[in-house]
Structure 1
């Protein structure tokens, strides 16, 4: 029965729950901010700045989760269920201790961190409260990421989707009570929202662990929680650290580009925010396809089906490019009504609409990276995407953004030209790497079994 479950996975069956899960994160991820806007503008600012810091910390948890997802998939494909279970428990243990350390730092250093952000004094106290509660319990989010990644590698993407739906519903209900105080319930403001977020995450984690134990059918032996096999730890770090480094580099480069946009004025900043919020619902499809493809290729590589893995990567890329191009075109046609949801400023609507026209060129290039990079990682080729990614993010995206956007005074159009050049250059290089098949000899499962 276990063998059939791993061999009968399909891209569609894996991808549609991932799609809904990510969409919910996009729609509901800012629920705290949206609901707090009815309570206090200062509270919104305090929570917004705190979440910006916390999002960087959450990226750091991804290095163990990413490594676990790939190693578990490869071992399941190789029918090494025991090793998959050992790696699952190890990854949960590693991320727990690492995230607990960061939680303690966030709780004890909240004021100092927020002062570095040059936060106004009138929102400092509320920001500290939110940072200490959510940041102090951020280890729960690390465990959610790890358990969710493992469940998806076992093929149970519907489970993680259902848990995400439940967490979001609990969070919104909790926010409603602590912000609006129905039925005489006391209003707690920022502190209440922080506890609502933390509690909903904790309940979600408990459900994920229950599902993980149930779905693995006894393959998870928590006696290994304190037993760290050197080969497993090495494999997790070899995959995870480069992947996390790439994500951190991307976030840092985007912060620099945002600094450039800030020099263009408030309208430019607002237009960029609205445009990128709309664009999220275009590349969401490519993100889901990329994650589903990673799971499939991990299983194929583990079972030695190299040609099947190669063909799966190419087919997924073709599907992703088509969907990205189609969705970007639809969004451009509807650009003005979409921007009209956010604003009635004609300058923002006109500029934003042109940016969405450029997005028709941008998004197919992004699809290359979201699908092929995940395919390379699943095959064990984790360093090449990092090296090329960092070089292109800073050498192309940042440099071109300054040159076209600021130096040539093309504004946001220049910024989008930089995005297009970066995504397409990286995408073409990643496709060449995939077609070159240098990744064939890089499977962590095969390397370990042959040693």
Structure 2
């Protein structure tokens, strides 16, 4: 795979050492650190799940539901981070580092304020939200505690996401990878201390996992901020930090809100489907959590390729190299589909021993294996969306994916999940079939959009107040 990556067309990115010195980066050079970084993020979540599974299956389900809700809020933080990544990449492609740095500073200040407001709302209304989700009463105390601790300071994640997006857009994907390694180490150590209580320390269970998560994220943000200051000279300015230049904020919103809209729609639709699953009982809910934890490792390859492709296409679109951008997306898509299918097949082959890492419940293992089999079909369809949607966003075509995403998720995924899973009684298998239909339908539509090349009219010039054109 490495050989194939290195043969792909490279793009010129700014070097850390000089404004006029350039360095060549291939998709592989950008993607493998992103892959490792996201893998470690997955491992962090799975470490929580694995360690909690030794403590209580109910605790796993409680944290799973809380994280489903928190993930929606994190997506809302992501609309600034996503807009930042795209705008910075395009400005760098257009050789306008001054504007790129101003956008970086503005995005951090805006996301801090926005994140603080959402964190406060999540802390205050956490119980009402969990009740609305239909969470079983037996899971409520632990789910509520986790949400108040992690959700109450979720603005830290908003800052971490934004700073990391800036660093990656400059091509320094290894740096954020190293930070994630450190965060994982801290998180695992914290989990061990708080869950198992070595040396007579108190066992805090779910509360301990939440505290460990918060501490690791806070330290991770501090380190990324230091890296940003050292890697990119003038990347942050106190003058811009408190001035809130409206043309940058307007541009961030123009790209960020539609970009996050598609992901927000996905997460809210998943919340509705989680409500369906909660009605099936704790066993079904726990099976979903374990299965999706395994699926994340399959999904990871397409996510990394999509993110790397977004960086490259952002630079290429900023430089008006549209033919190269078009070819880059198609090659990345083919690669993502092949890898997603292969990884799905491998995980299905080893599904039973993988599930036994988490649980010995035979009902969970049996249903989980069926879901992993369906994942062989599901993940290649998801690869379409991860690669092509990221490419469309990077080129400035951010609204169309949102419109189609909302139509497909709420017009296909949610109603079909109810009809097959609940009405006809196929349970989780019926719900997974609904996921397949949604991902493949959206993916094919997105590919048609990319091949139409209408996105070529939507990249911005190097003028700060002209980012997207109708």
Instruction: Compute the TM-score of the two structures, normalised by the length of structure 2.
Output: 0.86
Quick one: distance in 1 between partners of 2:311 and 2:183?
A: 24
Give CA-to-partner distance per residue, 1:138-169, whole Å, 9 cap, x none: 22111001001111101111111111111121
Q: Partner residue of 1:203? A: 219
Residues 330, 128 of structure 1: CA spacing in aligned structure 2 closer, same or farther, 3 A cutoff?
closer
Show the 5 A alignment for 1:334-413.
334-343=350-359, 348-413=364-429
- My pick for the range that moved more, 118-127 or 141-150, is 118-127
Q: Partner residue of 1:158? A: 174
Give CA-to-partner distance per residue, 1:215-249, whole Å, 9 cap, x none: 11234323210122222111110111112221221
- My pick for the range that moved more, 49-58 or 188-197, is 188-197
Residues 43, 253 of structure 1: CA spacing in aligned structure 2 closer, same or farther, 3 A cutoff?
closer
Residues 6, 311 of structure 1: CA spacing in aligned structure 2 closer, same or farther, 3 A cutoff?
farther
Of 95, 105, 111, 1:79 maps to 95
Q: Partner residue of 2:5? A: none
Residues 303, 172 of structure 1: CA spacing in aligned structure 2 closer, same or farther, 3 A cutoff?
same
CA contact (8 A) 1:321 1:367 kept: yes
CA drift at 1:117: 5.4
CA contact (8 A) 1:6 1:77 kept: no
CA RMSD, Structure 1 to Structure 2 (Å): 2.9
Residues 337, 39 of structure 1: CA spacing in aligned structure 2 closer, same or farther, 3 A cutoff?
closer
Quick one: distance in 2 between partners of 1:144 and 1:373?
A: 23
Residues 178, 5 of structure 1: CA spacing in aligned structure 2 closer, same or farther, 3 A cutoff?
farther
Give CA-to-partner distance per residue, 1:282-328, whole Å, 9 cap, x none: 12100110011000100111111111111111111111111112212
Give CA-to-partner distance per residue, 1:421-444, whole Å, 9 cap, x none: 211111111111111111101113
CA contact (8 A) 1:61 1:142 kept: yes
CA drift at 1:34: 4.2
Q: Partner residue of 1:276? A: 292
Residues 17, 4 of structure 1: CA spacing in aligned structure 2 closer, same or farther, 3 A cutoff?
farther
Q: Partner residue of 2:162? A: 146
Show the 5 A alignment for 1:251-266.
251-262=267-278
Residues 301, 255 of structure 1: CA spacing in aligned structure 2 closer, same or farther, 3 A cutoff?
same
CA contact (8 A) 2:109 2:241 kept: yes
CA drift at 1:189: 5.2
Is 2:47 the partner of 1:51? no
Quick one: distance in 1 between partners of 2:348 and 2:127?
A: 43
Instruction: Compute the TM-score of the two structures, normalised by the length of structure 1.
Output: 0.89
The SS at the match of 2:25 is coil
Is 2:440 the partner of 1:424? yes
Quick one: distance in 1 between partners of 2:61 and 2:382?
A: 31
CA drift at 1:179: 3.9
Give CA-to-partner distance per residue, 1:104-154, whole Å, 9 cap, x none: 334444555556556778876665554444333222111001001111101
The SS at the match of 1:444 is coil
CA drift at 1:355: 3.4
- My pick for the range that moved more, 215-224 or 253-262, is 253-262
Show the 5 A alignment for 1:88-237.
88-110=104-126, 113=129, 129-185=145-201, 191-237=207-253
CA contact (8 A) 2:105 2:235 kept: no
Give CA-to-partner distance per residue, 1:5-25, whole Å, 9 cap, x none: 765121111111111111111
The SS at the match of 2:291 is helix
Q: Partner residue of 2:306? A: 290
Quick one: distance in 1 between partners of 2:61 and 2:366?
A: 28
Higher helix share: 1
Quick one: distance in 2 between partners of 1:308 and 1:366?
A: 24
Quick one: distance in 1 between partners of 2:389 and 2:125?
A: 36
Residues 353, 112 of structure 1: CA spacing in aligned structure 2 closer, same or farther, 3 A cutoff?
closer
Quick one: distance in 2 between partners of 1:59 and 1:241?
A: 10
- My pick for the range that moved more, 435-444 or 182-191, is 182-191
CA drift at 1:359: 2.4
CA drift at 1:391: 0.3
Q: Partner residue of 1:248? A: 264
**Structure 2: runs of 5+ lacking an equivalent:** 1-14
Residues 4, 16 of structure 1: CA spacing in aligned structure 2 closer, same or farther, 3 A cutoff?
farther
- My pick for the range that moved more, 255-264 or 98-107, is 255-264
Quick one: distance in 2 between partners of 1:325 and 1:121?
A: 39
Q: Partner residue of 1:441? A: 457
- My pick for the range that moved more, 296-305 or 215-224, is 215-224
Give CA-to-partner distance per residue, 1:49-76, whole Å, 9 cap, x none: 5434322222211110010000000001
